[in-house]
Chain A
């Protein structure tokens, strides 16, 4: 089990394109990866491999999310995904 908390800085949060980017990256890992939007409702989690689940967390700019993984490549998954979120998921963000 590995986990990390990270702030989403994308202008429109984790909607559409950044969400798709995040989900595609998550799908590369065999571990189960869960995401929660700590700013909105920390008790609701979604699979990081479900674009509908991730979008349903309604992550807006400035929200903090928790990425948790369970499985053989859990550490790698959390490290890689939180780094991707910090660097803007393929979008230009402030301070990146």
Chain B
């Protein structure tokens, strides 16, 4: 039998391919590569991007990257950077400052085309800085299982989906962004595999079993035959789930809950409706900002949002305002590194530093809504209290004044900060809906970092404290017309879904691939049964007890 390493299952399916090891940035940001080498690598990357765009017939975009390739190795930029470094600035900061100076000079000249090129200078200098510190944007050369300590989402979205067949992470948890993305993209993934980096370095081939949470090193014929059976079973199950697409998400006694989808791209929205989604409960708009060189302008964003609204056939679509920052950095929005990014400047907290970000996005959503003739739902992330809500509502009012043709949007807040749970009775009367982000809520409530694999067992949203928090939000909304949804991983976990229905949540929003399993689990129980289960679970000592109780009861 071939060697195997155990981790936690993160996305189902089987993938077999050679390993491709990704090395992340040094935590101290220290330089590893001399600047000219980093600049050449940056130019190479940019030339590669231009070539890929050209293959797809996107000539205009390709030309932007042609110019960036020249900028990367520009002698004037290098002289300016060297001068800063001579004064003691480290290489990464120096190249960013030098680029910033050029971009600012371009903007000062008062020539619109030139000012726009400033964004390219910033983009390419950010790229060089990343490479200098060792955080290169990787490129896959062949079908690969990507092996990493953890995979930042900005990297995940840049990897070629045709070649990225599986993900195996030494760290991470089921709710880390790489795992969520893997499930959304249907890429088998295993996380929390101790010793993986070292073992994979000497393996020619890896087999990722995303159902069992096992990584096989150089699998033998017997293992491959067994995995073929697993893969076939998974395909059969997927086929059965497809048959459930037109079935309601409802208890055995007919209590209906809205079956909604979490999606990251317009194309995924189309697929979600085909899989039986009644709504898009979470459209993660930050994916429209990632994987590109410059900020998407209002028109580009509006086009992307209109595509989602167009696919909705009148069903609700919840646009979550860009949750950028934290662990989701964006190349063209330079942010200082933070010691605790999850507790840092992210989502609406970015407004002070980048005051155009939210207004542009809000106008784009409303423009798409006006063009499609459909009402949009807008949700703000990281709302801590009523002052945060005031800001969001004020910005929405301004955007509506700019786009008077748009129908009034439904307004919502994401409940993920514990303060918002405690203040839910103050928020509920002022919004149309609240959507509980159980991934972040769990890490904040239990003070357990989502990206720390050693704490994976402490990140279980089935924890009685999380259940009580959900119950409190439902209670706060009850006397109002405010709806309560859950859009975290908990909704996609059949055990979690049973408890959420019992707690009185109106909508479960999840990756469409979980619809079948959740519908089956909920459909097998009655509402009184689930209410009783939820009440009991809230009185249990910890998450493991709840999981056991739900398992025994189902």
Cross-chain contact of B102 among A15, A16, A49, A52 (Cβ < 8 A): A52
Given contacts A16-B67, A52-B77, A56-B114, 15 further A-B contacts (CB under 8 A): A15-B113, A15-B117, A16-B64, A20-B67, A20-B70, A23-B70, A24-B70, A46-B76, A49-B75, A50-B76, A51-B67, A52-B121, A53-B74, A53-B76, A56-B106
B residues near A (Cβ < 8 Å) are 63-64, 66-67, 70-71, 74-77, 102, 105-106, 109, 111, 113-114, 117, 121
Question: In A10-61, which residues have CB < 8 Å from any B CB?
Answer: 12-13, 15-17, 19-20, 23-24, 46-47, 49-53, 55-56, 58, 60
A56 touches B109 (CB 8 A): yes
Contacts of A51 in B (CB 8 A): 67, 70-71, 74
CB distance from A69 to the nearest CB of B (A): 16
Number of chain A residues whose Cβ lies closer than 8 Å to a Cβ of chain B: 20
Give chain A residues whose Cβ lies under 8 Å from the Cβ of B117.
Answer: 15-16, 55
Measured CB to CB, the nearest residue on chain A to B117 is A55
B114 close to A15 (CB less than 8 A): yes
A23: which B residues are within 8 A, CB to CB? 70
Quote the shortest CB–CB distance from B527 to chain A (angstroms). Answer: 62
Kindly list chain A residues whose C-beta atoms are within 8 Å of the C-beta of B76.
46-47, 50, 52-53
Nearest A residue to B102 by beta-carbon distance? Answer: A52
Q: How far is the CA of A21 from the CA of B71 in the complex (A)?
A: 13
A58 to B74, CA, bound (A): 17
CA distance A31 to B251 in the complex (A): 80
Question: Known interface pairs A16-B117, A51-B74, A52-B121. Does A58 touch B109 (Cβ–Cβ under 8 Å)?
Answer: yes
Determine the distance from Cα of A60 to Cα of B110 in the docked complex, in whole angstroms: 12
The interface residues of chain B lying within 8 Å CB-to-CB of A47 are 75-76
Chain A residues engaging chain B, CB cutoff 8 angstroms:
12-13, 15-17, 19-20, 23-24, 46-47, 49-53, 55-56, 58, 60
* Complex: A60 Cα to B109 Cα, angstroms: 12
In the complex, the answer to whether B74 meets A52 with C-beta atoms within 8 Å is: yes
Q: Which 10 A-B pairs have the closest CB atoms?
A: A50-B76, A51-B70, A58-B109, A58-B111, A52-B74, A53-B76, A15-B113, A20-B67, A50-B74, A52-B76
Contacts of A16 in B (CB 8 A): 63-64, 67, 113, 117
Q: How far is the CB of B64 from chain A (nearest CB, A)?
A: 7
Q: Please tell me if the beta carbons of A56 and B105 are within 8 angstroms of each other in the complex.
A: yes
- Give Cα A47–Cα B111 distance, bound, in whole angstroms: 20
Q: Looking at chain A's contact residues, is the secondary structure mostly helix, strand, loop, or mixed?
A: helix
Most buried by A among B64, B102, B114: B114
Q: Give the nearest-CB partner of B124 in chain A.
A: A52
Contact B66 A17 (CB under 8 A): yes
Q: Which partner residue on chain B sits nearest A12 by CB separation?
A: B113
Which chain A positions have C-beta within 8 A of B75? 47, 49-50
Closest approach, in angstroms, between the C-beta of B369 and any C-beta of chain A? 34
* Residue of B with least CB distance to A49: B75
Q: Note all chain B residues with C-beta closer than 8 A to A15.
A: 113-114, 117
- A45 CB → nearest B CB, Å: 12
Give the chain A neighbours of B106 by CB distance below 8 A. 55-56
List 24 A-B residue pairs with CB atoms under 8 Å apart, sorted by A's residue number.
A12-B113, A13-B113, A15-B113, A15-B114, A16-B67, A17-B67, A24-B70, A46-B76, A49-B75, A50-B74, A51-B71, A51-B74, A52-B71, A52-B74, A52-B76, A52-B102, A53-B74, A55-B114, A56-B106, A56-B109, A56-B114, A58-B111, A58-B114, A60-B111
CA distance A82 to B102 in the complex (A): 26
Determine how close the nearest CB of chain B comes to the CB of A53; give it in whole angstroms. Answer: 5
**In the bound complex, CA of A55 to CA of B75 (Å):** 13
Given A50-B74, A52-B76: A17 and B63 within 8 A (CB)? yes
CB distance from A17 to the nearest CB of B (A): 5
Q: Give CA–CA (A95, B252) in the complex, Å.
A: 78
Closest CB in chain A relative to B217 CB, distance in Å: 47
Across the two chains, which residue of chain B brings its CB closest to A16? B67
> Which residues of A lie under 8 Å from residue B74 when comparing CB positions?
50-53
A80 to B109, CA, bound (A): 29
How far is B111's CA from A60's CA once the two chains are assembled, in angstroms?
Answer: 9
The docked-state distance in angstroms from the alpha carbon of A53 to that of B76 is 7
- Complex CA–CA separation, A15 to B120 (angstroms): 12
How distant is the Cα of A17 from the Cα of B74 in the complex, in angstroms? 15
Given contacts A15-B114, A52-B74, contact A20 B102 (CB under 8 A): no
Residue on B with the closest CB to A21?
B66
The CB with the most chain B CB atoms within 10 A, among A12, A13, A50, A51, is that of: A51
- Closest B residue, CB atoms, query A27: B70
- The minimal Cβ–Cβ distance linking B125 to chain A, given in whole angstroms, is 10
How far apart are the CA atoms of A53 and B114 in the complex, in Å?
A: 12
Residue in chain B with minimal CB distance to A60: B111
Nearest residue, chain A, Cβ from B73: A51
Contact of A20 among B66, B105, B109, B114 (CB under 8 A): B66
Distance to closest chain A CB from B399 (angstroms): 32
A15 to B115, CA, bound (A): 11
Q: Bound state CA distance, A23 and B72, in angstroms?
A: 13
CB distance from A18 to the nearest CB of B (A): 10
- Give bound CA distance, A82 to B91, whole Å: 37
The answer for the CA separation of A19 and B102 in the assembled complex, in Å, is 16
In the assembly, what is the distance between CA of A51 and CA of B77, in Å? 10
Rounded to whole angstroms, the CA-CA distance of A1 and B451 in the bound complex is 62
